[in-house]
Structure 1
Amino acid sequence: RIEEPFETAASEGSFDVQLRLRGGGLTGQADAIRLGVARALAVQDDDKRVALRESGMLTRDARKVERKKPGRPKARKRFQFSKR
C-alpha cells in the first residue's frame, strides 16, 4: 500500500524515503504515508499529478470517529430494550 504512489508514477527505486509517524493504527499510518508520498511526487513533477489524482492517491480519507452520545453505550449502539 505504501509503494502504490511510486508504482502509479512509474518511479520505483528512484527515491529514498525517511518517515516519522505517531498515533493511529497500522492502516491509518500506511494511508498517511501513501498520501504524503503521493503529494511529494505530485509537487516534484506535474505530469505525475494527473496519474496520482486519477488513482485517488491525492485524496484524503475524511472519515472520522463518530462521537459517543449520552444515554448510549457507544455512538450508535443502544442498551438492550425490554418490553416488560
Structure 2
Amino acid sequence: MAELNSLAELGAATGAQTSEQPAAPVHVQKLDKHGRAYATGKRKNAIARVWIKPGSGKIIVNDKEFVGYFARPVLQMILQQPIVATDRNGQYDVIATVAGGGLSGQAGAVRHGISKALTYYEPALRGVLKKGGFLTRDARVVERKKYGKAKARRSFQFSKR
C-alpha cells in the first residue's frame, strides 16, 4: 500500500471526482399526446387535476369560467399568482377539475397544480416558481378530533356543580 499525503491524493486513488460540483438535475418538458402539460395540485382536502396548453389565457375550473366558480376576488387572485409571477398572462389555457374541501382549499389546489404544470411545460420557469413558494405543497390540514374533547383541542365546559 502506498502512503497518501493529502485528501486530493485519496480522491485520485479512489477515482472520485475532484473539485467538480455534482451535476444539477436536468428538468425536461413533460407533455401528453395532445401537447398539454398535466399536474396534480393539493391543498387541505382538495385535489385539483390541471392541464395547460398554449392559448388565449382562458381558465376553466369544473367546466365553468374561474370567475364564476371562485366568486371572491381573493380566490381569483390566488389562482392567477403563478401565471402573473412568470409573466405568462394570456399565453396558456388552463383546464382544471377540482374536488374535495372548500373553495379556499380548492383555489390553493388549483394554484399548486398550475405551478407544477407550468414547470412541466417550461422547465426554465422552475426557479421563479420555487422562489415564490408555488411548488411547495402546503401541508397544513385540519387536526383530527380527539375523544374526551369537544373538538381537536377544546375541552367541554367545566361545571363546578
- TM-score where L is the length of structure 1: 0.92
1:47 to partner: Cα distance? 1.8
Please state which structure has a larger fraction of its residues in strand. 2
One-letter code aligned to 1:75: A
One-letter code aligned to 2:143: E
Please state which structure has a larger fraction of its residues in helix. 1
1:82 to partner: Cα distance? 3.2
Q: Identity of aligned pairs, percent?
A: 48
| RMSD of aligned residue pairs (Cα, Å) | 1.1
Residues 30-69 of structure 1: pairs in structure 2 closer than 5 A? 30-69=107-146
Q: What do the CA deviations read for 1:2-51 (whole angstroms, capped 9, x no partner)?
A: 11111111111011111111111111000000000000111112221000
1:60 to partner: Cα distance? 0.7
Residues 22-33 of structure 1: pairs in structure 2 closer than 5 A? 22-33=99-110
Task: Give the whole-Å Cα distance in 2 for the aligned partners of 1:53 and 1:43.
Answer: 13
Q: Which runs of 5+ in 1 are unaligned?
A: none
One-letter code aligned to 1:71: G
- Equivalent residue pairs, number: 84
Larger Rg: 2
* Shift >6 Å, 4+ stretches: none
Q: Which runs of 5+ in 2 are unaligned?
A: 1-77
2:65 matched residue in structure 1? none
2:57 matched residue in structure 1? none
- TM-score where L is the length of structure 2: 0.50
Task: Give the whole-Å Cα distance in 2 for the aligned partners of 1:67 and 1:32.
Answer: 21
Task: Give the whole-Å Cα distance in 2 for the aligned partners of 1:18 and 1:43.
Answer: 15
One-letter code aligned to 1:37: I
